[in-house]
Every structure is written in C-alpha cells, then in structure tokens.
Amino acid sequence: MIPAGKTNEFAWDCIYFKGDKPCQPHQLQTATCRCDGYSPRSKKYLFIQLSSGAEVIRSLPIVEQIKQQDPQSYIIYLTPFAPLVNGFVDEVLPNDIGAIMRLQLDQINELYNLDMDKRACSITNVLQADLKKGFYLRDGFCRPLDEDAEKVYQEILEPNLEDPHKTIHYVQNLFHICGMTYHQQRPYLTPPKTTQPWPDYEGQLVGIYTLPKEGSVSYWETARWIHLMNSLSNQGWMPILLGDQMSEQLNLQIAEKSRAIYPGRMTLEDTIKLIHQCDTVISSDGLISEIALALHCNLVLLHDGRQRQPDLDTTKGVAMVSSENNQGIQDILPDKILEAIAKYRQATNHKEPERKAPKPSAPDELPTTIDEMRSLTAATRGKPGSY
C-alpha cells in the first residue's frame, strides 16, 4: 500500500477522472485535480447480458432512462455484444476473467443481471453491490433475486400454452425486472459513422436476412427468395443480402440466380452499418429485427405463427407478415411480403435525430474550455432520480 500523500489530492470520484491517463481538463488547460470542472459521480451501475444481443438492445431504454434522470451516474455494461451498446453507456467490458476480477474490486451501487444464463448468474453471485436485481445462481439453477424478477421468471418457465399468440412485451419485462416504470420507450442505437457505399440507391436499399436451416419454422425455399429478390428489383428496390457464416451458402446461391447483392460475410459492427443505410429490412431473426427497430428502419417481420408475437408498434414503420396455418414462414408467399413493403415506398423516413447522453462521455464531445465545462457541470448536476 502506498502511504497517504500527493495521490490523495486526486479527484477519484470526478466524472472526468481516468486513473490511467491525464483527464480532459488537464489535456485542455493543464488543470490540476479539483479544478473548476470537477463534477462528482453519483452512482455506479452494472448491467450484465451475455447470451442475447437482442436483449442488450431491448435494455437500452433502461440505460437511457437512468442516464437522463441521473446524468452524473457511471454505467458499465458487461457483454460480448459491444457494438450493440449505445452512447448512454460509459464503459463496455467483455466477458473475460480480467473484467470479472476488475469488477470484484470495484464499488458497484446497483447491479442488474437481465440474463438467465448460468454464466451471468454466477457472475452476479460473486460480485458485490449495494443492490442486485434480476437473476442469480442457486443449486446450479437460475433463480429470481426478488419479486420483480419472479413474475418474468414464471412466464418464461411456464408460458401460457393455451394462448401461444399472446403478445410478449420484451422491453416492458426488462423494466419490470429492474423495478422501474415502463413509459413505452423504444430502443435506440447510436447511428454508426460510415460512408454510403451505394449512393445511387439511397433510400431504396432493402436488407434481407435469410435463414438456411431446412426444417425450421424460419426456413424459406430458395426459389421463393429468388422470386422475392427479382420482384423487389423490378419495383426499383436494391435488395442486399444480410447474413453470417451460417447463411453464406444460401446467400451465394440467391445472389447468383437473382439481382440481389451479397456483400459477403460481415461482422456484427458491419451489419449494423449496412442496416442503418437501408430504408427497409425484411427478417425473421430477433437480433436483426431489433437492430432495424433501434436504428428506426422500416421493418417487415416474418412471423412463423407458432411462437408468441413480440410487442411491435405497427404505426412506426413495422409490418408483421404471419403464417396463416402456423406452419412456419414457408407458407408465406412472396407477394404477401411485397404487399407489406409497398406501403413504405412513399412513407416518411422513420429515422430519428441522434440522441446523446446529458453528460459528455468521449473526448471529442467534451467542452473545449474550463468555462464551458463549468457551465455544463452546473446544468447537469442533480440528485439521482428514482425508478
């Protein structure tokens, strides 16, 4: 241990303090600690989601609500899906031993484990926090931490089989787990910074996510995909095939026999950038659909008719095309999808202006002078909100 001395003069609790490099006020005007820009942190929050990228997106309204009500908070997200976390999160950590060891030595005020995965529940057990919400591990099984998580836990383990079409309110369930009030917020992803690779087709790109697994409820015959691609092209759209390694062979076959473009296998980050440039996305995949919704693209969701329907706002650029015979999407005809997408042809762009956290969280967003920093701190300082 280092004896008390000069290091005790550092403002460890300031929102600008880095700990391993000079802070922004020092870089701007060689200010020393507890300068006029000093702004103390209020609470430190930790969110955990390891198994589902779609659930990361669905949790973003909770993160945004915390940051809006408590601008001085510091929010950490432990997840392997870093590209899906927006600008309201201060720090993203991967799920590795180094990150977990660091969190064990941290002082966390509120921990929210929104994941029933046993790894996430185990991490919740070993970390210390003043308040824990969500799920933990007991006797080798996931268990709810309190009554707020109990209701969602029961719905997941014992779904209402008599009403398989009952709407699932995914985001509302996450708010309930956290003990917070849901105000119909929509997930929001910070628009990625990218150049437009197809400027001649701006506003006419259609992203299509294909699933190749034959026999699954989300399988569609290759001939139908080809028919859909050519029909979209005939109507003036430019179909772009989205996919990962699993769908690569199918996408290559479709691109060879249709007028669709397949840009190749892409990372999650590249997929987000491409979806952001699309006017409309066609998908039966939960993650791709959530990305499109969070980027406020028009979405045509192919629903297999068997599982419960998600809570989609059909007035904001969302159309659901469902199987009529509950046999999966294979009994959905291409013309039915074309009818759904046609209503967006002249529709208003649903993309919203970029939303930012009420306090700066990146060096290029920070004020350029101490006076600006002082005024910003005065405007954002306040007591933490209640949820």
- Closest C-alpha among 159, 129, 154 to residue 143: 154
Q: Is the pLDDT of residue 73 over 80?
A: yes
CB 176 within 8 A of CB 148: yes
Looking at per-residue pLDDT, the higher value among 278 and 192 belongs to 278
CB 4 within 8 A of CB 31: no
Side-chain half-sphere CA neighbours of 118 within 13 A: 4
Q: Is the pLDDT of residue 3 over 70?
A: no
CB 219 within 8 A of CB 212: yes
**Going from the N-terminus, what domains does the chain have, and what CATH number goes with each?**
44-177 (3.40.50.2000), 199-342 (3.40.50.2000)
pLDDT of residue 169: 80
Instruction: Reduce the secondary structure of 74-137 to three states and give it as a string.
Output: EEEEECCCHHHCCCCCCEEECCCHHHHHHHHCCCEEEEEECCCCHHHHHHHHHCCEEEEEEEEE
Q: Which is it for strands 141-144 and 129-138: parallel, antiparallel or unpaired?
A: antiparallel
- 225-268 pLDDT per residue, tens: 999 999 999 988 899 999 878 888 999 999 999 999 998 888 89
Q: Which of 100-109, 156-165, 376-385 has the highest mean pLDDT?
A: 100-109
Mean pLDDT score of the chain: 80
Q: Is the pLDDT of residue 270 over 60?
A: yes
Q: Is the pLDDT of residue 378 over 50?
A: no
53 vs 288: CA distance, rounded Å: 9
The DSSP secondary-structure symbol of 331 reads G
Side-chain half-sphere CA neighbours of 385 within 13 A: 14
Work out the burial of residue 265: count CB atoms within 10 Å of its CB; fewer than 13 is exposed, 13-18 middle, 19 or more buried: middle
pLDDT (mean) for 34-53:
90
pLDDT (mean) for 82-95:
93
Looking at per-residue pLDDT, the higher value among 331 and 148 belongs to 148
- 315-363 pLDDT per residue, tens: 457 777 766 666 667 778 888 888 888 776 555 445 555 666 665 443 3
pLDDT of residue 10: 83
277 vs 81: CA distance, rounded Å: 21
- 182-195 pLDDT per residue, tens: 988 888 888 877 65
pLDDT (mean) for 87-100:
94
Q: Is the pLDDT of residue 199 over 60?
A: no
Looking at per-residue pLDDT, the higher value among 358 and 274 belongs to 274
187 vs 38: CA distance, rounded Å: 32
23 vs 29: CA distance, rounded Å: 10
CB 170 within 8 A of CB 152: no
The dihedral through the CA atoms of 19, 25, 26, 32 has a sign that is negative
pLDDT of residue 316: 59
DSSP bridge pairs for 143: 136
**What separation, in Å, do the N-terminal and C-terminal C-alpha atoms of the chain show?**
39
pLDDT band of residue 34 (cuts 50, 70, 90) is confident
pLDDT of residue 348: 46
pLDDT (mean) for 119-133:
97
pLDDT of residue 323: 66
pLDDT of residue 214: 59
Q: Is the pLDDT of residue 35 over 70?
A: yes
